[in-house]
Each structure stands twice: as C-alpha cells, then as structure tokens.
Amino acid sequence: MPELPEVEILVRHLRPLIQNKTIRGVQVRRAKILKPTSPAELKRVLLGAKFTGLSRRGKYLLFDLRPRGRRVAVVVAAHLGMTGRIYLVRHGSMLPKHAAVVLNLGGKDLIFEDTRYFGRFTLDTSILAKLGPEPLSDEFTAGHLYEALERSTQSIKVKLLDQSLLAGVGNIYASEALFRARISPRLAAHNLTEDQVRRLWRAIRTVLAEAIRFGSTVPLNHGQDQNRDGLFYFGRAADAPNYYEERLRVYDCAGRPCGRCGSAIKRIVQAARSTFYCPACQRSAVRGKSD
C-alpha cells in the first residue's frame, strides 16, 4: 500500500477523523516499530495529548500533537513499510494479529497494523532531514533532477528509489514513470539526455498526481470487516475489485501486452527488486544493447 499517493490518500482520509481527538490510552504491542523511541517515552508523551494536524512528507505520515499541559508540539512520524496500515475501529474491537500500536481515542481505537513489522511509529523525526524534495512541489524541477542524475552511474530505475533524490517514489511508480517517459529502466542515470530528464520529470509528476486522483475515488472502508475504517486495499483481496492493478500500465504486468504497442511487458531484476517495462517502447540509448 505505501508509496506517496497511497500515503497521501490515507492522510486525507484520516485527518478529519482524528482532528482534536485526545489520546486516552497507548498500547505498544511491538516495540521494534517505535525505534529509537521507547514504549515508556511514547506513552509519557502521547497520553492525554491531542491530535492537532496530520500531513505527509514522502512516504511518512506526520501526526501533530499537543501534549497535555505543555506548549510544545510533538510530531509522530509514521512509515508504513511494506505492509503497514493505519485505521480506526470501534473502541475495544478485537485486535488484528499484527497490531503494533493501538491508541485509544475514546469511541475509536487508532490501529497501526503491520504484518511484517518493517514500518515505523516514532518520535524520532531526524530521518526527514535526509529526504529529497516533494515530487509534486515547485521545489522539484527538471533542473534539480538533471543535476541529481548527472553524476550517477546507477541505473535510472534504481536511482528513482533513492529517497534523498526525491521523496515518495517506490517500486511501483518508478516503473510506471519510466514507462510513461519511454525510458529504459536500465539506462545509467548520467546517460539520460536533457530531453529524457524533462520527460521523466513530467512523467513522475503525472503518474503520482493521477494515482492520487484515482485513489480519491476508491472507498477506503470496503473489504471484509465492517468494523474497520480506513482500510486501503492495495493487494488482491478476493472480495474487493482490483482498482489499483487495473490502472497500472506495466507494474506486475509481465507477459501482458503493452497498452501502447502490444509487445509483451517484461520483468527484470534490478538491485534485487522487480522492474517492469516495455522492451519496445522503452529502448535503451546504449547502442548494441537490445532491451
């Protein structure tokens, strides 16, 4: 579920639901998620605190809180990792197997669930300083991208996953953006022409903006458990329509015909992760190499 568009949709969904709610209970069921914050510290800061805002930076959710009896605001930075979810249930509902953190908000419980426990829910916000620009902001320009790619010999696909280059693109939208820009994922970053960089810059923004627009039409509370709210189905739930996958043009589409030219979409592995692309539409600029 978690790349920039999914996190953005989640933030928009959650914001009005938690605004001004006071935390009456904090339950930490998997301390690893808080690192380097300790469960005791989290409880000390969050008990009695009130949610004052919710925003996003890259793939992070930023919960603004005003602790009880204190002026200074605090921020909880949450990252969903691969399998993280955040949603509200009726207070006292049966907890899912992998609930890592549960906040009692009175009538509702805010659940941070994460099957693989790669996510984060922490008071440590130092990681945010290392993030590159927001891809959809004015700060992120084609010039910025060109300069960042200029001296890198890494393949462009792998480079797009670097959160210090730009924040929020993950494995799915990296493939999607390169397809849209018609650039081979194997091309070394410093070999992109100015025109290609410009196309890629535009493609990144279009792909992310489209995903957000699309995500805003998807109901967040479908799925099996009526009790739940804010579930964002990314995977292939048997009982839920595959909104997301139908819309992706290359990701997880190996063997299927390219929507532009009809060639079979190919899967390759780069930096131990799958990349999907159309070998006909996304030709490498390196002569002699057939993609």
Q: Give the amino acid at 1.
A: M
Instruction: Annotate each residue in 227-256 with x if it binds DNA (CB under 7 A) or - if it does not, as one string.
Output: -------xxx--------------------
2 is catalytic: yes
Q: Which two tokens stand for residue 190?
A: 């410093």
Residues within window 148-207 making contact with DNA, judged by CB under 7 A: 151-155, 158, 161, 163, 170-172
Residues within window 10-39 making contact with DNA, judged by CB under 7 A: 32
Among 6, 8, 113, 176, binds DNA (CB under 7 A): 6
Beta bridge partners of 202: none
**Considering the rule CB under 7 A, would residue 272 count as an interface residue with DNA?**
yes
What is the closest distance, in whole angstroms, from the C-beta atom of residue 251 to DNA in the complex? 8
d(CA 254, CA 181): 19
What is the closest distance, in whole angstroms, from the C-beta atom of residue 281 to DNA in the complex? 20
Q: Decide: 117 and 98 in contact? Cβ < 8 Å.
A: yes
**Considering the rule CB under 7 A, would residue 286 count as an interface residue with DNA?**
no
Decide: helix, strand or coil at residue 250.
coil
Among 22, 27, 93, 115, binds DNA (CB under 7 A): 115
Decide: helix, strand or coil at residue 167.
coil
Distances (CA, A) of 226 to 229, 231, 236: 8, 11, 18
Among 198, 202, 273, 283, binds DNA (CB under 7 A): 273
Residue 109 or 113 having the CB closest to DNA:
113
Q: Which two tokens stand for residue 199?
A: 């196309």
Q: Quick one: which segment of 75-83, 104-112, 195-203, 214-222 binds DNA (CB under 7 A)?
A: 75-83
3 is catalytic: yes
**Considering the rule CB under 7 A, would residue 223 count as an interface residue with DNA?**
no
d(CA 229, CA 47): 23
Beta bridge partners of 74: 65
Q: Which of 21, 56, 59, 228 is catalytic?
A: 59
Question: Which positions ≥6 away from 69 have C-beta within 8 Å?
Answer: 48
Q: Which of 205, 267, 273, 283 is catalytic?
A: 273
**Considering the rule CB under 7 A, would residue 146 count as an interface residue with DNA?**
no
Strand pairing report for 99-104 and 50-57: unpaired
Which helix (H) or strand (E) segment is 267 a member of? strand 266-270
Residue 45 or 158 having the CB closest to DNA:
158
Phi and psi at residue 113, in whole multiples of 5°?
Answer: -110, 140
Closest C-alpha among 125, 72, 277 to residue 186? 277
Q: Quick one: which segment of 101-109, 115-123, 136-144, 201-209 binds DNA (CB under 7 A)?
A: 115-123
Which letter does DSSP use for residue 23 in this model? P
| Catalytically annotated residues | 2-3, 59, 273
Residues that bind DNA (CB under 7 A): 1-3, 6, 32, 58-59, 79, 81-83, 97-98, 115-118, 127, 151-155, 158, 161, 163, 170-172, 234-236, 271-274
